[in-house]
């Protein structure tokens, strides 16, 4: 079966959970066998893993004819893409886009991030998708998150193949209800045009059905999973410490509920002293949180590390005794699973999608800071609690693998193709 996937991020250059999830799912599907996957991203760097999917960069796809030779193309984009693909794509330019801002190869530049002119970039991405859809043979089209829905729709119109959209998050999650109408209309348009919608949790599925008015039989939940960690990361050693460490790790934004963490920390510190609280990450609420911690007179025990990436994340986790994710709304939330992989007991909000599949974590309402504080206290004070969560959590998270998620997605493809 041949699938044409549109994504926005792909490891190792990722900005959030979307890239990790797209990668894991693609790999999991490849492991199920008999899959030929083409994965389109705006701006590949060349060091993406290519063994289970063919990567096409939107910024290496010509939309305007340029008379260039093989060597020139190889020199320009050889490390990202096979030059032959460039020429194949060039044969399928469907309109003259010379009026657009194109480069020496006839390609549109992409940032591959979330720039201010994001909407323009989304539009360009969909223009490029028209060329790719005409070139790459596929049985099904799969769009990851709202940025790529217009591209998916375009590809569907060109090929007539069924479109699956994968809802990793909705704007209701990101904005705590204050939805951006433009984003909403893009999302809604994607959902209306999709032949099937995959959501990463039942929570998101409910949002799609209720807030976007989609028929329930068109929406299926496929929970995310995690990649096993490399031994190198598991073996990270951290210097011995005297205090217990409670860690919040993620973007410091409204969606992640950082203020509830500060409040719970304040409660715990009234009673226990040998504990440190860490807020790792960055975001628009960071300064507010620093002020809040100071106002609560716990700044001495409350630390901000700034944005952590790569190995730093795992070093932080390894040094932690408790991981906490009090998200107000979390479509899935992959990071508690990573904490569990590192053997860190986790506290997550019931409003997180991953709460649907996890048993050996503490689940609380994000606003219930009393319950959060109680849970933190219990884990750092009662060794049985720590040990049970650590050991059972590890065992549980090791069962949550991408090939199972992949198999579910393939089932959905088959249903659509045989319809």
Rounded Cα gap, residues 335 and 314, in angstroms:
11
CB closer to another protein out of 158 and 385: 385
The set of residues, in sequence order, having a beta carbon less than 8 Å from that of 170 and lying 6+ positions away, is: 146, 187, 204, 207, 208, 211, 212, 331
Q: Please work out the total of residues on this chain that contact another protein, with binding judged by CB under 8 A.
A: 23
Minimum distance between the CB of residue 272 and another protein, rounded to whole angstroms? Answer: 8
Site for another protein in 341-400 (CB under 8 A): 359-360, 362-363, 370, 373-375, 377-378, 381-385, 387-389, 391-392
239 binding another protein? (CB under 8 A): no
CA dist., res. 260 & res. 335, Å (int):
18
Report the Cα–Cα distance between both ends of the chain, in Å, rounded: 15
Please state, in angstroms and rounded to a whole number, the distance separating the CA atoms of residues 46 and 88: 19
**Cβ neighbour number for residue 387 with a 10 Å cutoff:** 12
Closer to another protein by Cβ: residue 236 or 394 = 394
Percent composition of the chain: helix, strand, coil (DSSP 3-state, to 5): 45, 15, 35
Residue placing its CB nearer to another protein in the complex, 59 or 351: 351
Nearer to another protein, 71 or 391 (CB): 391
Our CB check for another protein shows the closer of 265 and 409 to be: 265
The 10 Å Cβ neighbour count of residue 100 is: 12
Q: Please, what is the minimum distance in Å from the beta carbon of residue 298 to another protein?
A: 16
Nearest distance from residue 86's CB to another protein, in Å? 53
Whichever of 77 and 389 has its CB closer to another protein, that residue is: 389
Kind and range of the H or E element at 216? none
Residues 246-285: x where in contact with another protein by CB under 8 A, - otherwise, as a string: ---------------------x--xx--------------
176 vs 271 by CB, closer to another protein: 271
Q: How far is the CB of 347 from another protein (least distance, A)?
A: 10
At its nearest, how many Å lie between another protein and the CB of residue 369?
Answer: 11
CA torsion, ordered 110, 173, 13, 401, to nearest 10 deg: -130
**Among residues 66 and 296, whose Cβ is nearest to another protein?**
296
Query: Minimum CB separation from another protein for residue 259, in Å?
Result: 20
Per-position b or e across 208-218, b if 16+ CB within 10 A of its CB: bbebbebeeee
- Nearest distance from C-beta of residue 261 to another protein, angstroms: 17
Taking CB atoms within 8 Å and a gap of at least 24, the contacts of 406-411 are 406/25, 406/27, 406/28, 406/29, 406/30, 406/31, 406/32, 407/28, 407/29, 407/32, 408/220, 408/222, 409/25, 409/29, 409/142, 409/164, 409/198, 409/222, 410/1, 410/29, 410/32, 410/35
Question: How near is the Cβ of 245 to another protein at its closest, in Å?
Answer: 18
Which x/- pattern over 172-211 shows residues binding another protein (rule: CB under 8 A)? Answer: ----------------------------------------
- Residues found near another protein in the complex (CB under 8 A): 267, 270-271, 359-360, 362-363, 370, 373-375, 377-378, 381-385, 387-389, 391-392
């Amino acid at each position: 079966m041949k699938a044409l996937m549109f994504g926005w991020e792909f490891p190792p250059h990722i900005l959030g959970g979307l890239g990790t999830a797209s990668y894991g799912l693609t790999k999991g599907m490849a492991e199920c066998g008999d899959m030929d996957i083409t994965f389109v991203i705006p701006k590949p760097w060349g060091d993406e893993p290519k063994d289970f999917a063919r990567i096409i960069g939107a910024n290496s796809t010509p939309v305007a004819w340029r008379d260039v030779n093989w060597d020139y193309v190889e020199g320009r984009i050889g490390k990202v893409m096979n030059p032959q693909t460039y020429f194949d794509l060039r044969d399928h330019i469907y309109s003259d886009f010379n009026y657009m801002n194109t480069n020496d190869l006839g390609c549109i530049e992409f940032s591959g991030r979330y720039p201010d002119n994001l909407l323009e970039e989304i539009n360009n991405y969909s223009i490029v998708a028209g060329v790719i859809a005409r070139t790459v043979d596929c049985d099904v089209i799969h769009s990851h998150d709202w940025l790529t829905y217009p591209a998916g729709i375009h590809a569907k119109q060109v090929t007539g193949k069924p479109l699956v959209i994968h809802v990793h998050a909705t704007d209701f999650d990101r904005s705590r209800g204050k939805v951006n109408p433009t984003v909403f209309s893009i999302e809604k348009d994607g959902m209306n045009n999709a032949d099937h919608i995959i959501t990463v949790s039942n929570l998101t599925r409910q949002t799609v059905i209720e807030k976007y008015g989609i028929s329930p039989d068109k929406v299926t939940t496929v929970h995310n999973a995690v990649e096993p960690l490399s031994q190198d990361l598991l073996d990270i050693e951290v210097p011995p410490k005297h205090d217990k460490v409670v860690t919040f790790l993620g973007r410091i934004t409204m969606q992640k509920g950082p203020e509830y963490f500060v409040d719970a920390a304040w409660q715990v510190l009234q009673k226990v002293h040998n504990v440190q609280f860490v807020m790792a990450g960055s975001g628009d609420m960071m300064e507010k949180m620093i002020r809040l911690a100071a106002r609560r007179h716990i700044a001495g025990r409350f630390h901000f590390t700034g944005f952590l990436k790569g190995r730093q994340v795992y070093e932080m986790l390894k040094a932690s005794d408790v991981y906490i994710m009090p998200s107000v709304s979390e479509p899935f939330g992959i990071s508690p699973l990573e904490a569990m992989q590192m053997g860190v007991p986790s506290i997550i909000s019931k409003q997180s999608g991953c709460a649907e599949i996890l048993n050996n974590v503490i689940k609380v309402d994000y606003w219930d800071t009393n319950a959060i504080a109680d849970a933190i206290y219990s884990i750092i004070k009662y060794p049985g609690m720590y040990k049970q969560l650590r050991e059972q959590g590890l065992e549980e998270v090791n069962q949550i693998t991408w090939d199972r998620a992949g198999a579910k997605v393939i089932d959905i493809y088959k249903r659509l193709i045989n319809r």
